[in-house]
């Protein structure tokens, strides 16, 4: 059975209308995530792994009604070490949220109402208070903001968390910031009736087993790391059609001359060690500049 068959009808309709087929990373991720175990997806940028994690969560939120208790509504926590959270939301959530809703309407199904909230250092105070009173279905935050949430009264709004998505896990796994996040994730589990499913997303990294151990604190993790090959697209671009129009370099290749005899030089070496040349169009001025080169010296 294809992993895409595990989704609801509306989600499948949106995905098949937007993409030709799932990538290998998405197929493997959905197989692992749907089992309910912790999962680590390791794949290059552009493989669709972030969408894979979010799409499964969105489908579950759409299929299972929110709890009657408002404080338990937030069921998905997305933690990213990146600051550009708003861009991530727009790219990874807004499109599938809108697409699934439109697909449900075409199929005659009820359009799901899924709310998304952001908590970072830039979040206004009124929005922070609003999340505490009326939690969103998905909360997107940073490791630092998660720590602050867990040490405030707002932690009560996290008691319904079922899934934790840790993006760019390779960027924090071996840092003090990552150790801080690991403690916060364990503190979050203490609030819940049962530990949340952790889904780690990582670029290609070695050793994978070490990152998996970090993600789940030594608990079993399904690792999804499909093979990938690099494809090179090399182009040689010449600025002119006829190379003879470039002319020939004049003078001899040499290092910088002292300021007392700059006029004989028509080429020089750049700081990178590459030689740069230009034709001399006018005689140099006799007054040197501060760096020892005459006014009107050859352009680099």
pTM of the model: 0.74
Determine the average pLDDT of the residues in 145-149: 93
Domain count across the chain: 1
How far apart are the C-alpha atoms of 200 and 31, rounded to whole Å? Answer: 14
The one-character DSSP state at 294 is B
Question: Which residues constitute the domain of residue 160?
Answer: 3-224
* 297 domain residue, yes or no: no
Query: What was the pLDDT predicted at 267?
Result: 47
Query: What was the pLDDT predicted at 238?
Result: 77
* 162 domain residue, yes or no: yes
> Which of 42-46, 185-189, 226-230, 270-274 comes out lowest in average pLDDT?
270-274
Q: What is the pLDDT of residues 188-227, one digit of tens each?
A: 999 999 999 999 999 888 889 999 999 998 899 999 988 8
* 182 domain residue, yes or no: yes
* 39 domain residue, yes or no: yes
Can you give the CATH number for the domain in which 111 is found?
Answer: 3.40.50.300
* 134 domain residue, yes or no: yes
* String of DSSP letters for 252-277: ----PPPTTS-TT--EEE-TTS-EEE
3-state secondary structure of 15: helix
Q: What are the Cα distances from residue 34, in Å, to 79, 206, 271?
A: 20, 25, 56
How far apart are the C-alpha atoms of 58 and 8, rounded to whole Å? Answer: 10
pLDDT at residue 46 is higher than 50: yes
3-state secondary structure of 44: coil
* 291 domain residue, yes or no: no
Structural contact between residues 41 and 202, judged by C-beta atoms closer than 8 angstroms? yes
* 243 domain residue, yes or no: no
Q: If you average pLDDT over every residue of the chain, what do you get?
A: 81
Q: What is the pLDDT of residues 232-291, one digit of tens each?
A: 788 888 777 766 666 655 555 555 555 544 444 444 444 444 444 344 444 444 444 444
The one-character DSSP state at 1 is -
The one-character DSSP state at 92 is I
Pairing mode, if any, of strands 116-119 and 197-202? Answer: unpaired
3-state secondary structure of 189: helix
* 241 domain residue, yes or no: no
């Amino acid at each position: 059975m294809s992993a895409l068959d595990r989704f609801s009808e509306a989600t499948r309709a949106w995905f098949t209308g937007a993409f030709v087929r799932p990538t290998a990373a998405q197929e493997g991720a959905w197989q692992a995530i749907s089992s309910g175990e912790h999962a680590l997806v390791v794949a290059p940028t552009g493989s669709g792994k972030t969408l894979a994690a979010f799409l499964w969560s969105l489908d579950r939120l759409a299929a299972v009604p929110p709890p009657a208790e408002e404080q338990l509504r937030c069921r998905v926590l997305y933690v990213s070490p990146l600051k550009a959270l708003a861009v991530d939301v727009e790219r990874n959530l807004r499109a599938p949220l809108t697409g699934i809703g439109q697909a449900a309407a075409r199929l005659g199904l009820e359009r799901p109402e899924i709310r998304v909230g952001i908590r970072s250092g830039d979040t206004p105070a009124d929005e922070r208070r609003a999340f505490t009173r009326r939690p969103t279905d998905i909360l997107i935050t940073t490791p630092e903001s998660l720590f602050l949430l867990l040490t405030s009264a707002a932690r009560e709004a996290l008691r319904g968390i079922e899934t934790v998505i840790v993006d760019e896990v390779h960027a924090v796994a071996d840092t003090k910031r990552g150790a801080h996040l690991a403690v916060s994730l364990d503190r979050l589990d203490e609030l819940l009736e049962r530990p949340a499913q952790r889904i780690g997303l990582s670029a290609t990294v070695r050793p994978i087993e070490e990152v998996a151990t970090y993600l789940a604190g030594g608990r079993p993790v399904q690792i999804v790391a499909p093979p990938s090959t690099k494809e090179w697209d090399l182009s040689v671009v010449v600025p002119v059609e006829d190379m003879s129009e470039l002319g020939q370099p004049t003078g001899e290749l040499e290092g910088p001359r002292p300021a007392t005899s700059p006029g004989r030089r028509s080429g020089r070496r750049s700081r990178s060690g590459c030689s740069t040349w230009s034709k001399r169009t006018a005689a140099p001025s006799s007054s040197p500049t501060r760096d020892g080169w005459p006014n009107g010296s050859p352009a680099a």
